[in-house]
Each structure stands twice: as C-alpha cells, then as structure tokens.
Structure 1
C-alpha cells in the first residue's frame, strides 16, 4: 500500500530530518509510529499524504505519487492532524460540505461514533471543548472509510475516559483493505491497539517489527531481583521492569513504554535480536 525508498527530507539544509529512510506498509495493519519529539513523525506523515515533498527518494501510496495531490488518491486518505481548526458550524453543516469528498463516507457509522464519544452535535463545533473537538475529527476521519487513515497524536488532549473510548473504537475500526498509521510520543496509549511498531530515531528507521515478533523474541517481566540476563531494566513500584531474551518462548505482554525506552537506550542490542527492517 505504501512504499518508501531512500527518502531524504529536511527543512534546514544544515540538519537533515531523514536520511535514506525506507519502509513498506501494507493494508490490514495498524502501525504505531513512535519517536521522541522532533524525530520527524509528523513530517513523515505529511510526506505520505503529500503535504510536504521529499528532497530525494521515492514515495508511492496506493499506486500514486502523493506529491501530485491527485483527487483519486486524496479521496482514499483521511488525515487527522495534531493541530486543527473547526469552523463555527454544527456537525450537520460540516458533514454536508466535507463528506462528499469521500465516496464511501458512512453517515450511520459517524452517528454511532459521535454517540459513543458523547459529542453534543447540536453545539457549534468551534464552541466545543478541545477534547470534544479532537474526538469529533477522529469520528469524522474514521467515518470516511478511507483506505489509508493517518492519525497524528490522536490522544493528545483526551482525558482518561476518552482515551478508553478511543481504544475501544480503534479496536473495531480495522478492516482488511485499510491501513491505519497512528503517530504518538505517548507510547503507553497504543498498548493493545497496534500490531506493528515503527520507531524513528537519529534520522532513520531504528526499528520496524510486529508485536508478535517482538514478544516472540523478547520477554517482558516484573521481578523482585534483576537477573544477569536482563537486556534492559527500569526500577518500578515493588520491583524492576525488565526485558530479556525469550529463550523459553514464554508468553508475555508487550510493555510499549518500556520497549520504547529500551530501544532508544540500547538500540543495537535490541534490534539485533529482532527480524527487523533496520536501516543503518
């Protein structure tokens, strides 16, 4: 669905943001795009959707070059940005103007999502709280039924109950012909939601691996005493949170935040254990 080859991009010639970034993203997956602030997560999403253009390299989305901004491609992409503006109109007016751009827009699904999110649809969008606005654009984006759904920091500004609603909705939003990319630095919000991790660091893809692959190769465990075989350790309440080689093929639950920190601090030792697309 998305093929990126040797992508180079920078806003400032003295400091490239990406150097020869390559990756392949397929339909039927929810990708978690992770990285520290400033790693280029938002910029990569903008390259994919044609909002900014690479300096060199190639990028193909659904068979199209996103730089050309062709309507045939744009109607298949729903981009939910971190920063946004909603007009001073009610939902019905907003939908009547924007829904026709998406040939498979599902009005009934939008109604269900707005009900689940408890959005006051009779209120003007501009008068809603920030959290309500955020949930509204998420609901509208999912209702487009676009084949590529891009979410940049979707949980920013959401309270704990709203984050729970978001995870519930996203768990049922995936279809076999759809690809969803969720970018965030709040990695804990993606626990039990994504099926593949892509981690950006130091101008490159530091790691790209499925959740299954990670938990097959690595074991996440809380212990009272640290074993010498531990690859990474963080002290927590009542013990230590550890990552070790999963020599005995034990089942464990991926701790996204622990894994994120481990890769950034011990990149080579972690990535060498995974069958990843790792670009030096």
Structure 2
C-alpha cells in the first residue's frame, strides 16, 4: 500500500524535516501517526497524497508514484486536511459534483453518517461552522470507500459528542482492504480506535508497531511511588507514577500517551 524509503525533505535548504525516513504500511489497519508539533506529520500525509514532490526518494503508494496524480490513483485516495476551504454550494450539490470521481462511492453510507452527525444537507457549506464542515468532509471521505484514507487532525473542531460519533462511524465504515492513517496530537481522541502506532521524531519513523504487540510485550501500570526496579519508563501523574515495565505474558491495556512520551524521550520500545 505505502512504501517509502530514503525520504529526505525540507522546506528550506538549511533545515531537513525528514532524514532518510522509511516506512512500509499495508492495508487492514487504522494507524495513528503521532509526533510533536512540527515533526512533519502533515507534510508526510501530503507527500503520500501526491501534493508535495520528493523526487530523490523512492515512494510508491498503491504501486504508483503519488506526485504523478494519475486518475486511477486519485480515485482510491481521500485526504481530509486539518485546514480546508469548501465551495459556496449546498451539500447536495457538492455530492452531485464530486461523488462521480469515486467509483466505490456509497450514497447510502453517506446518508447514514450524515444522519448520525446531525447534518442538514439543505444548507450551503459556507453557512456551517468549522466543526460542521469537518463532520461533512469526514462523512464524504468514508463514503468514497477509497483504499487509502488520510485524516490530518480529524477531531480538531469537533465537540465531545461528535468525537464519539467519529470514532463509531470510522470503526464501522472501513474494512480489511483499506488503510486509514490518522495524524493527530489528540491521543485521547483516538486511543480506542487505532490498532497500530507510527511515531515520527527528529526526521525519522522511530516506532512502528501494532497495539496488540505492544500490549503483549509491556505492562502499563500506576503506582503511588516510583519504582526503582523493572521500570522501563515512568513519569509522575495525578494518581502517582505511570509506569511501563516488561510484560508478564498477559495482554495489558496500552496507555498510548505514556508510550508516546517514552519513545520521544529516547526509550527503545521496538
């Protein structure tokens, strides 16, 4: 699905955002792309979508060079960016104009998701709040049934009930033939949704594992005091110390925020 090797990229000659970044992703997962602000999450999504060229890297997405923007590539990919501008038309007209570009588009699925989000399709898109616009764009993206769905900070601008609905509709709308890649720093919004984690730091992918593998290898616990033995990583919290230690053979509930902090602090959990 996605094969990238030796990606070097920067917006300025004096600053490299990516340094020999390599990544391989196959369909069948909802993957969280995590990183600190400025680490290049949005840029990486744009490179995958073919919006930015990186000519010296080897990049294949669905066996095609993304920047060539072939129609057969574009009809199987949908990117929901963090910032976007929608035309001054009604939702119904937007659907009529754009749905035809996606051969697997489902009007039935769109109507169901729109209903769950509580969106009025008679209004012009420009009359909606940012959160309402984002909910519609998410609904449309899922209804395309594209093989590759890219979401950049999808929960920004959504209220708490809408975040819950987002998780529900996404989990129920994709299948094993699709890959969903979600870039976010709102870990709590997606922790019960994603099944794989990518962490980007200092220009490289420093972590790439499924949550199931992590849950088997490590135990995530809390304690009222620091542990001097066995702890791989620990940090203070309101309830005491949050700790990562070697697993005991039984799957553990993964604290993604704690995992992320450990990796960013240089702890090797691969």
Task: Sort the TM-score into its range (normalised by shorter chain).
Answer: over 0.9
Give 1:138 shift.
Answer: 0.3
Query: Equivalent residue for 2:145?
Result: 145
Contact 2:217 2:246 in 1 (8 A): yes
Q: What SS does the aligned partner of 2:33 have?
A: strand
Query: Equivalent residue for 1:278?
Result: none
Q: What SS does the aligned partner of 2:24 have?
A: strand
Query: Equivalent residue for 1:34?
Result: 34
Give 1:174 shift.
Answer: 2.1
Matches within 5 A, 1:186-197: 186-197=186-197
Contact 1:9 1:55 in 2 (8 A): no
TM-score, length-normalised on structure 2? 0.97
RMSD: 1.1
Verify: 1:172 aligned to 2:172, yes or no.
Answer: yes
Contact 2:145 2:174 in 1 (8 A): no
Matches within 5 A, 1:56-71: 56-71=56-71
How far apart in 2 are the matches of 1:108 and 1:17? 41
Deviations 1:172-212 (A, max 9, x none): 12211111100011122121211111100001111111101
How far apart in 2 are the matches of 1:176 and 1:157? 29
Deviations 1:104-147 (A, max 9, x none): 11001000000011112122111111111111100001101111
Contact 1:10 1:55 in 2 (8 A): no
Give 1:56 shift.
Answer: 1.4
Query: Equivalent residue for 2:238?
Result: 237
Contact 1:187 1:260 in 2 (8 A): no
Q: What SS does the aligned partner of 1:56 have?
A: coil
Give 1:237 shift.
Answer: 2.5
Verify: 1:130 aligned to 2:101, yes or no.
Answer: no
Query: Equivalent residue for 2:214?
Result: 214
How far apart in 2 are the matches of 1:263 and 1:33? 13
List gaps (5 residues or longer) in structure 2. Answer: none
Contact 1:190 1:256 in 2 (8 A): no
Verify: 1:99 aligned to 2:80, yes or no.
Answer: no
Give 1:236 shift.
Answer: 2.1
TM-score, length-normalised on structure 1? 0.93
How far apart in 1 are the matches of 2:252 and 2:97? 47
Query: Equivalent residue for 2:263?
Result: 263
How far apart in 1 are the matches of 2:15 and 2:239? 43
Q: What SS does the aligned partner of 1:82 have?
A: coil
How far apart in 2 are the matches of 1:91 and 1:179? 26
How far apart in 2 are the matches of 1:50 and 1:235? 42
Q: What SS does the aligned partner of 2:232 have?
A: strand
Contact 1:80 1:154 in 2 (8 A): yes
Deviations 1:42-84 (A, max 9, x none): 1111111100011411100111111111101000001111111
Query: Equivalent residue for 2:75?
Result: 75
Q: What SS does the aligned partner of 2:176 have?
A: coil
Contact 1:42 1:152 in 2 (8 A): yes
Contact 1:8 1:55 in 2 (8 A): no
Q: How many residues align?
A: 269
